[in-house]
Amino acid sequence: GKRKGEIYFYGRPIETISDREQASRIGYVLQNPDNQIVTDKVWHELAFGLESLGYDTRVIRLRVAEMANFFGIQSWFMRDVSQLSGGQKQTLNLASVMAMQPDVLILDEPTAQLDPIAATDFLETVKKINREIGTTIIMTEHRLEDVFPMADRVILMDKGRILAEDAPEKVGKILAQKNHPLLVAMPAPMQIFESLTNHKMSAKQAPGPKQVPGPEPAEASPITVRQGRTWLTDIFAGKQLVKLRIDDPRESRPQGEPLIELKDVWFRYSRDDVDVIKGLSLKVEKGQLYCIVGGNGSGKTTALSIIGGINKPYRGKVIVKGEDIAKQRNRKITENIVILPQNPQTLFVEKTVALDLMEVLDEKTLSAREKEQRVREIADRIEITHLLESHPYDLSGGEQQRVALAKVMLTEPEVLLLDEPTKGLDSHFKLKLAKILRQLLSEGVTIIMVSHDIEFCGSHGDLCAMFFDGSIITTNTPNRFFSGNSFYTTAANRMSRHLFENAVTVQDMVTLCRENLKREENTSSEDLLQEEVMCCESVVREGA
């Protein structure tokens, strides 16, 4: 790429600082944990950077021991890195960088690959580094619920330009005043606050009536669940809530025949390995969006590979369209089941995005012109037209995810298996993805999605399931599913569960709050009118 302008580090132009000094004073952690690990052992990974800079053995041993203790790595210090979970790998990357004692730590969406609990643990460690060591931290992130409370300053960017720069609790007001669509990417307490304090928002951002009386605007928005609960409690103090539940049409849908069914499925990667899948059973209907959540390493990705016919269980049945796929001699029954893998790079085989998309159509009986038209259409739909001449490996994580989605959609699948499809995506394209998936569902495509994106699953899933220790332990509609969880739930639910029974999304919260505030306003008006009538009647009686 090309760069214009100047970059200064401690008052010095960055070009005047040697590579060695930059490597030791500026730490960098990548978005994908696997892309940064270069050795096969945990202890060696911790020492590798120091070895590369030529540090003395005694210094290396001391710093490695210090990092292992600080980051809680002692129990897996001697393990192979291939045995680590995603959260452990990212912690190892962070510890390896911090072993060089950098002045500035740069983190590129470090929690994109992590489940909610692992992400929270990782960010707590980052906060500890900043507070206890004093390291300056610059972090890019799309998942803001846990990041905003720990930030001193927030910079919002749109199309390469700075849109707003202020304290975390003040940027919501800036976005609301500009009526900017980026507000939907802010933490749920901030979205709800700005919606209910009568800022003008578009119908897409703030559903429901726009002029319902609400609380008076304040200088700062709540940014944590705790602040949001306190604010919510204050505005409804002394008020009688008349509507406690959101109406969810998904709860009343009749059950149909399953398109895909797994019955007591067991799987291990080799005879001597432990079981990864343990008695897994599930049913997915045609045209349904079935979301699976759970911790890293619980077996979710393996389950998708079994449904897709890539791996075969040693016990149990995988039934597609009423037929046991183990009894089929050819793969015809599963050829319309397509997987979008967690790592989109595994799909890229050509030098440009356009050629990669064209490669999918090679086996189809289409003319060159028809193939080009199909590629242009899908590129427009997925908003990647400007990337067609780029090399897939030169794209950002979110752009690679979009290109991979376009590639699997060109296969026209009957069943689409998505493994973490929202990671690296901004709020705009998440909404776009939701529309694309809904359109596919309306066309009869069945979608099974593994995701750490709780907010997306709660907003758009038909059914949600919890995966734990190789099996699904519970399945329900999103409002019922997330209302019963403490950690695997949305910020909106944690913020409102002391008042409302099943609010899961920001839209749920805004709807319930507005209805209750509106009814409170109507009740107050009726009471005032009744008092005036009684007063008039009293005057009439006295006059008589």
Residue 205 has pLDDT above 50, yes or no: no
Is the same domain home to 129 and 178?
Answer: no
Domain boundary among 104, 125, 141: 141
Is the same domain home to 14 and 137?
Answer: yes
Q: Is residue 476 part of a domain?
A: no
Cα–Cα distance between 137 and 7 in angstroms, integer? 17
In contact, 337 and 308? CB cutoff 8 Å: yes
Cα–Cα distance between 420 and 113 in angstroms, integer? 8
Is the same domain home to 136 and 174?
Answer: no
In contact, 331 and 153? CB cutoff 8 Å: no
Cα–Cα distance between 95 and 538 in angstroms, integer? 79
pLDDT of residue 533: 45
Is the same domain home to 131 and 29?
Answer: yes
User: How many percent of the chain have pLDDT more than 70?
Assistant: 90
Q: Is residue 448 part of a domain?
A: no
Minimal CA–CA distance to 374: which of 402, 406, 416?
406
Is the same domain home to 117 and 79?
Answer: yes
- Six token digits for residue 158: 């749109």
CATH number assigned to the domain comprising residue 44: 3.40.50.300
pTM confidence score: 0.82
CA distances from 531 to 525, 534, 535, 537, 544 (A): 10, 5, 6, 10, 20
pLDDT digits (tens, 9 = 90+) for 248-258: 777 767 678 89
More confident residue, 305 or 398: 305
Is the same domain home to 75 and 114?
Answer: yes
Q: Model confidence at 524, in pLDDT bands (50, 70, 90)? A: low
pLDDT (average), residues 3-27 = 93
Is the same domain home to 23 and 117?
Answer: yes
Q: Is residue 418 part of a domain?
A: no
Cα–Cα distance between 248 and 479 in angstroms, integer? 7
Residues 6+ apart with CB under 8 A from 539: none
Query: Which H helix or E strand runs over 515?
Result: helix 506-543
Strand bridging mode 258-267 / 315-320: antiparallel
pLDDT digits (tens, 9 = 90+) for 409-462: 999 999 999 999 998 788 888 999 999 999 999 999 999 999 989 999 999 999
Question: Cα 283–288–294 angle (5° rounding)?
Answer: 65
- 3-class SS of residue 6: coil
Residues 6+ apart with CB under 8 A from 474: 465, 466, 481
- 3-class SS of residue 106: strand
pLDDT of residue 233: 93
Residue 383 has pLDDT above 70, yes or no: yes
For 349, other C-beta atoms within 10 Å of its C-beta total 10
Cα–Cα distance between 228 and 37 in angstroms, integer? 39
Cα–Cα distance between 402 and 414 in angstroms, integer? 19
Residue 213 has pLDDT above 50, yes or no: no
Of 242-251, 353-362, 379-388, 505-514, the one with minimum mean pLDDT is 242-251
Q: Is residue 536 part of a domain?
A: no
Q: Is residue 308 part of a domain?
A: no
The number of domains in the chain is 3
Is the same domain home to 92 and 136?
Answer: yes
- Six token digits for residue 540: 């009439």
pLDDT digits (tens, 9 = 90+) for 451-506: 989 999 999 999 999 999 999 999 999 999 998 788 889 999 999 999 998 899 99
Minimal CA–CA distance to 401: which of 122, 117, 32?
32
pLDDT of residue 3: 84
Is the same domain home to 71 and 191?
Answer: no
Q: Is residue 132 part of a domain?
A: yes
Minimal CA–CA distance to 194: which of 158, 164, 218, 166?
218
Is the same domain home to 61 and 131?
Answer: yes
Q: Is residue 230 part of a domain?
A: yes
Output DSSP code: residue 448: E
pLDDT digits (tens, 9 = 90+) for 99-151: 999 999 999 999 887 777 788 889 999 999 999 999 999 999 888 888 999 99
Output DSSP code: residue 253: P
Domain boundary among 91, 124, 141: 141
DSSP string, 298-339: SSHHHHHHHHTTSS--SEEEEEETTEEGGG-SSSGGGTTEEE
Cα–Cα distance between 23 and 53 in angstroms, integer? 8
State phi, psi for 261 to the nearest 5 degrees: -140, 130
In contact, 200 and 175? CB cutoff 8 Å: no
Residue 212 has pLDDT above 70, yes or no: no
Minimal CA–CA distance to 438: which of 466, 459, 454, 410?
459
Is the same domain home to 29 and 97?
Answer: yes
pLDDT of residue 206: 40
Domain boundary among 367, 399, 431: 399
Q: Which domain holds residue 233?
A: 167-248+498-523
Q: Is residue 336 part of a domain?
A: no
Minimal CA–CA distance to 445: which of 416, 410, 409, 404?
416
Minimal CA–CA distance to 265: which of 315, 334, 321?
315
Residue 329 has pLDDT above 70, yes or no: no
In contact, 311 and 302? CB cutoff 8 Å: yes
Greatest alpha-carbon pair distance for the chain in Å reads 106
Is the same domain home to 101 and 186?
Answer: no
Residue 296 has pLDDT above 80, yes or no: no
